[in-house]
Amino acid sequence: MTIPRGTAPSPKYQQLAADLRRRIEAGEWAGGGRLPVETELEEHYGVARNTVRLAVDVLVNEGRVARVQGKGTYLREPSRHDHRVYARPPRREPLAPSGEVYAAEAAAAGRRLTVDFEVAAVRARRDIAAWLGLRPEETVMMRRQLCRVDQEPYAIEESHYRAGLAAGTPLMNSGPVPGGDERILAQLGRTETSATDHLTARMPAPAEAAWFGLGPGVPLLVNTRISSDRRGPIRVVETRYAADRARLLYELGDGTANG
């Protein structure tokens, strides 16, 4: 088989990558299956080995396949985990604790959630400071949760609080808080009743890529939530997900149509 030339000026390796991508999406190779070896692809498409290698590089960078030293190139096994970013709370009730939501979703999927905690006083980023009504680089208290599902890195969640609100409270304990952070906030007189989410995507920093174990072309989904009560903003929660293993769900309306 030869690659159709057509009228597009795309290099041969990109045309080959496009056809391999099409075959993958058509289900020609099952998830976790091995792609044909380089010599087979050379003969099938009538191209040079370097063209094959460059085409496979494209698919590796897209996170579609992974090379295993000494064994070949395999499709990445789909391992997406659904997270309801903004589940419907009862009217005028506090927002659901995120930790409880994560744990319940993992259990419902027959999977196991584990979380490691870190706490620190940090200088606020300019955007976080603005959302909290602070000066740039003013100190905030940051509570980080490193979430794994079945031991696979899944999400990094960082909650940022005004120092005067969180310092000296259980929010700064390096461990789980019974009932969730939301319970402590309510005890402090700051019950979260509304939130605004900002959903973006970006490429990971080296440390993020290393923790998640990401391929070179896999981005992060970044959900930033600014929660408030009637007095104003309470905290900024930034959660970063590996785009190849997370699907974020938003529920709208009263839920009577879909349960």
Residue type present at position 163: A
In the structure encoding, which two tokens stand for residue 219, read together? Answer: 């981005």
Q: How far is CA 124 from the centre of its chain?
A: 22
Instruction: Give the separation between CA 38 and CA 188, rounded to whole angstroms.
Output: 62
Question: Of 238, 235, 215, whose CA–CA distance to 155 is shortest?
Answer: 238
CA distance 41 to 225: 47
How far apart, in Å, are the Cα atoms of 83 and each of 77, 116, 149, 248? 19, 18, 12, 5
Structure tokens at 162: 């005004």
| Res 94: pLDDT | 54
Q: CA 138: distance to chain centroid?
A: 27
Q: Retrieve residue 128's tokens.
A: 């976080």
pTM: 0.70
**Residue 34 DSSP label:** B
Per the DSSP assignment, residues forming a β-bridge with 247 are 82
- Quote the DSSP letter at residue 28: S
Residue 250's φ and ψ, nearest 5 degrees, are -115, 130
DSSP H helices in 35-156 = 38-45, 49-61, 98-108, 126-132
How far is C-alpha 169 from the chain's CA centre?
29
Predicted local distance difference test score (pLDDT) of residue 259: 44
- CB burial of 221-236 (b: ≥16 within 10 Å; e: otherwise) equals bbbbbbbbbeeebbbb
Query: d(Cα 239, Cα 253) in Å, to the nearest integer?
Result: 24
Question: pLDDT per position in the chain (259 positions), as tens?
Answer: 555 555 556 789 999 999 998 888 777 886 668 899 999 999 999 999 999 999 998 888 877 888 888 888 888 765 565 655 654 444 555 555 556 677 777 777 788 889 999 999 999 999 999 999 999 889 999 999 999 988 889 899 999 999 999 999 999 988 888 778 888 999 999 998 888 889 899 999 989 999 998 877 789 999 999 999 999 999 999 999 998 888 888 776 665 544 4
CA R_g for the chain = 23
The domains located in the chain, with CATH, are 12-75 (1.10.10.10), 81-250 (3.40.1410.10)
